[in-house]
Amino acid sequence: MAFRPEKPAAKTPNIVLFFIDDLGYGDLSVYGALGYKTPNLDKMAQEGTRFTNFMAAQAVCSASRAALLTGCYPNRLGISGAFGPNAGVGLNPKEETIAELVKAQGYATGIFGKWHLGSDQEFLPLQQGFDEYYGVPYSHDMWPLHPWQERAKYPPLHWIEGNKPVKEIKNLEDASELTPVITEKAISFIKRNKNKPFFLYVPHPLPHVPLAASAKFRGKSERGIFGDVMMELDWSVGEIMKELKAQGLDNNTLVIFTSDNGPWLNYGDHAGSAGGFREGKGTSFEGGQREPCIIRWPGVVPAGRVSNKLLSTLDVLPTIAKLTNAKLPKEKIDGLDFSALLKGDDTQTPRESFLYYYRKNNLEAVRKGNWKLVFAHPGRTYEGSLPGKNGQPGPSPEDHQFPKALYNLARDPSERYDVLEQNPEIVAELEKIADAAREDMGDDLQNKTGKNVREIGRAGRK
């Protein structure tokens, strides 16, 4: 037999990861949004696969971002909620992020947008595998103009370039530059890195409040400023996609679009829509965590497909790792590789279950397939309270007592009909999953506090 050289490894794709802020399940036209259109995202869905059962790992900003970038439930990292400017903690620099994994494979890495995984220098993106950073360190409502926190609490907000603040964002007019500037920086990154593989992370700070759109988009939608902002975000996606095409990179780029958590509903006409799912941001009901997700890679990911498989932002890291031949993190992660499903093998069901942890370490619900067991817990509710108008928030009581309940998400996607008493076997099965999670990561609701939960902070993992 003749000697055969090994087949050269297929070229690994560039990755563009859009992570939008407080975008609800119902906020893209292709998911049914009303009052404005998102033609670029609708086109992405036509050219790629649209997911309908895709879960953010937790319903609040920092926790959700930590999970996306590490493939771990945020409580496994010791992270919950949203870091304030003076938190003094962040994602442990020892955690391995997607950026670090692909950087080891020779990828250029850039983040343009909102970080929110610690604002002290040691926690900033350059210390987590990113070559370049231009963006805001945390939510842009964490500034002196915050509508309900005491003004003195939040220091001035700055654009950060690399490790340094470069320009203050003083008012809504300044904030209206968020989307165009991030777009411009992302496009510049593509231009400069067109000849090597790259990982471009675009965590847009909008449509998180306070809403601000460029003059070009203001007043353009039938949905007020929220629709204007959505139109501008869709424009941004379109510009970045256009640049990929212009550089001839379109067919070798995996583009992922999703969001960190559901809409902040008490902001009323300044909030998005969960598209019929119950509750929103800051809750473990589907409205808090079920997100739009579109993935496109021409010729590899089937075009025009809709997938209803249960997946999570947790699964992005191992999937990217697989597609870029990167090594997985050394520590245990929770994400599951769905690359085969993504490429079109619909027999794959990579994720069977999902854990809904919230607050510090409350296991509020567990899911297996289409069944969701909600444990008795105190939590935020938007129901029964009048949302705000014109950017002013309405009330969102945080200590509503939710009873234990079982929902069948297949016939009751909006979690309205508790069928706990009718299904003792299902409950028992879900309780087992919960018990295993408690053993692994603890559960404050059951007074089994996080024995295995990694701790975070300046001191690093203990």
**Which of 53, 58, 92, 361 touches its own copies (CB under 8 A)?**
53
By the rule CB under 8 A, 15 interacts with its own copies:
no
Q: How many residues bind its own copies (CB under 8 A)?
A: 49
For 153-182, the DSSP string reads GSPPPEEEETTEEEEE--SHHHHTTHHHHH
By the rule CB under 8 A, 52 interacts with its own copies:
yes
Distance separating alpha carbons of residues 236 and 242, to the nearest angstrom: 10
CA dihedral angle for residue 319, residue 320, residue 322, residue 327, rounded to 10 degrees: -120
Residue the block writes with tokens 């903690």: 89
By the rule CB under 8 A, 429 interacts with its own copies:
no
Is the Cβ of residue 42 or residue 141 nearer to its own copies in the bound state? 42
What is the x/- site pattern for its own copies, positions 74-103, by CB under 8 A? ------------------------------
| Residues between 372 and 401 that touch its own copies (CB under 8 A) | 383, 386-387, 389
By the rule CB under 8 A, 238 interacts with its own copies:
no
Under 8 Å between Cβ of 310 and 369:
yes
For 268-312, the DSSP string reads GGGS---TT-SS-TTSSSHHHHEEEEEEE-TTTSPTTEEE---EE
Is the Cβ of residue 332 or residue 417 nearer to its own copies in the bound state? 417
293 counts as catalytic: no
Tell me if residue 446 falls in helix, strand or coil.
Answer: helix
**Which of 417, 436, 458, 460 touches its own copies (CB under 8 A)?**
417
Cα angle 265-267-273, degrees, rounded to a multiple of 5: 40
CA atoms within 13 A on the CB side of 47: 18
Pick the closest to residue 133 from 201, 207, 204 (CA basis): 201
By the rule CB under 8 A, 344 interacts with its own copies:
no
By the rule CB under 8 A, 416 interacts with its own copies:
yes
Is the Cβ of residue 111 or residue 213 nearer to its own copies in the bound state? 213
Tell me if residue 108 falls in helix, strand or coil.
Answer: strand
72 counts as catalytic: no
By the rule CB under 8 A, 32 interacts with its own copies:
yes
By the rule CB under 8 A, 414 interacts with its own copies:
yes
The catalytic residue positions are 61, 116
Instruction: Name the residues that contact its own copies, by CB under 8 A.
Output: 26, 29-30, 32-35, 37, 42, 45-46, 52-53, 222-223, 226-227, 265, 268-269, 271-277, 304-306, 308, 369-370, 383, 386-387, 389, 408-414, 416-419, 422
